[in-house]
């Protein structure tokens, strides 16, 4: 088992002989799994060599050349219980998020999505809000996206901006990102946004991609004008369409008569 950078001065078996605790001249205490030979954890609290190590139940005591006696407690069980509680709470929050989204409570659903760190769920939620009324103004503070972002705290708001920055880098998510940005800028004054931690960096990342999207849309808009011009130039009035149809029918009848005459002449030549 390799891990200490200086002499190993004391070792002790724990966990019914399945694990090993070691202290060394590097001032570190290490926990090892004997079966795999891997270092599970390293504890660095002493400032000099650790000369002594004593284990009793869930407590470990170490003494070092720094004139310190440290008492350690095994909190593995507590951490496992905490993880189980967090998982159970996460499941309940996810169910609550689904219920809020089905009930149309978008404000609560957005807050839960941010709390659970679900950017994809938040994006789908925003897409649903936009799809409900595509013609609605995103800067209307009473409804839509503004009503969602207006109820966010500072931590939730900065997290939303971080998600928006990431979405703005992808062309197919541009509409969602830009509409959400418009709602945020309409709901909060610049002075308040400026005080948010990390807002300057987020804004610097948003600007180049936003400029690129605007240029792309402008190019498409200019192209649409050319298409309109071509279509209008080729457009025919109803009378012109009728005239073209009658001329075409006349040409088809003349062609049929010419074909019949040509076959008759060919037959006469064969008879002669």
Question: What pLDDT tens digit does each residue of the chain (272 aa) get?
Answer: 888 999 999 999 988 888 899 999 999 999 999 889 899 899 998 999 999 999 887 889 999 999 999 999 888 778 888 888 888 888 888 888 888 878 878 888 888 888 888 888 888 888 888 887 666 666 665 567 887 888 788 888 888 889 999 988 888 888 888 888 888 888 888 888 888 888 888 888 888 888 888 888 888 888 888 777 777 766 655 555 556 566 555 555 555 555 556 655 655 555 44
First to last CA, the chain: 114
- Rounded to whole angstroms, the Cα distance separating 125 from 268 reads 82
Rounded Cα distance, 117 and 155, in Å? 12
- Residue 37, sorted as left (phi over 0), alpha (psi -120 to 50) or beta, turns out to be left
Give the separation between CA 234 and CA 245, rounded to whole angstroms: 16
Rounded to 5°, the CA angle 64-68-73 comes to 95
- Residues 157 and 166: their CA atoms lie apart, in Å, by 14
Would you state the pLDDT for residue 248?
55
Nearest to 27 by CA among 1, 3, 45: 45
| CA neighbor of 194 nearest in space, from 169, 222, 157 | 157
Q: Which two tokens stand for residue 33?
A: 């799994």
3-state secondary structure of 41: strand
For 227, the enclosing helix (H) or strand (E) is helix 199-234
| pTM listed for this prediction | 0.54
Q: What angle do CA 80, 85, 86 make, to 5 degrees?
A: 95
CA distance 68 to 46: 7
Q: With contact defined as beta carbons under 8 Å apart, do 133 and 104 qualify?
A: no
């Amino acid at each position: 088992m390799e891990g200490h950078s200086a002499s190993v001065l004391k070792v002790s078996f724990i966990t019914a002989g399945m694990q090993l605790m070691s202290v060394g001249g590097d001032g570190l205490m290490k926990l090892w799994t004997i079966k795999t030979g891997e270092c599970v954890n390293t504890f660095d609290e002493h400032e000099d060599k650790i000369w002594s190590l004593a284990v009793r139940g869930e407590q470990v005591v170490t003494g070092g050349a720094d004139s310190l006696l440290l008492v350690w407690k095994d909190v593995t069980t507590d951490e496992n219980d905490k993880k189980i509680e967090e998982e159970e709470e996460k499941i309940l929050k996810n169910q609550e998020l689904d219920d809020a989204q089905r009930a149309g409570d978008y404000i609560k659903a957005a807050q839960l999505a941010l709390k659970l760190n679900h950017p994809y769920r938040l994006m789908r939620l925003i897409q649903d809000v936009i799809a409900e009324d595509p013609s609605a103004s995103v800067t209307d503070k009473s409804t839509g996206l503004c009503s969602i972002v207006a109820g966010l705290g500072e931590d939730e708001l900065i997290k939303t901006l971080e998600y928006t920055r990431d979405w703005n880098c992808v062309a197919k998510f541009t509409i969602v990102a830009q509409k959400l940005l418009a709602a945020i800028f309409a709901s909060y004054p610049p002075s308040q946004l400026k005080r948010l931690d990390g807002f300057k960096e987020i804004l610097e990342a948003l600007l180049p991609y936003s400029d690129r999207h605007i240029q792309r849309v402008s190019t498409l808009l200019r192209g649409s004008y050319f298409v309109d011009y071509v279509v209008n130039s080729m457009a025919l009035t109803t009378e012109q369409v009728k005239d073209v149809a009658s001329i075409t029918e006349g040409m088809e009848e003349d062609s049929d008569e010419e074909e019949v005459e040509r076959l008759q002449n060919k037959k006469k030549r064969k008879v002669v």
